[in-house]
Amino acid sequence: MSQYEIVLGIPEVNNFMTDLEARFKNAQLSKSERQLFKKLVRCLNKLAINPRDKSLETHEIEALSKKYASSRIKIWESYVENRTPGAYRLFWYYHPTKENCIVIAGIEPHPEKGEYARLKLSMS
């Protein structure tokens, strides 16, 4: 049973996941896309149950929290993959007004050190 509702940021994250899911159901994903989709689903399920799950290695990204400081939210990063070149990460925040709700603001390959500011997050 989920403890947190997961909301996909609009439009980028929602569009990305909707496209992957549709192509997964129609067997139109490449092998690497299929693997990524499965990892994303697994990661989102773990996040919904416990955002502090050790395997997610969740931590705040201060550079992004500062970038979005006017929204008064903290941006967190959780691992979708690890020890993989270009490993994917989820960037998310707790919904500011809805209790027990996490908004997925971005799904991106791990940025190089100091490049977090370039990320464009879906802040819906």
Per-residue confidence in pLDDT tens, the chain, 124 aa:
569 999 999 999 999 999 999 999 999 999 999 999 999 999 999 999 999 999 999 999 999 999 988 888 999 999 999 988 889 999 999 999 999 999 999 999 998 877 887 888 988 6
What's the number of domains the chain is made of?
A: 1
Structural domain of 40: 5-118
Q: What is the pTM of this model?
A: 0.92
91 three-state secondary structure: strand
Give pLDDT, residue 119.
86
Strand order in the sheet with 88-94: 5-8, 101-109, 88-94, 76-79, 59-60
Tell me the two tokens of residue 87. Answer: 């490993």
59 three-state secondary structure: strand
In a domain, 92, yes or no: yes
What is the spatial distance between Cα 38 and Cα 31, in angstroms, rounded to a whole number? 11
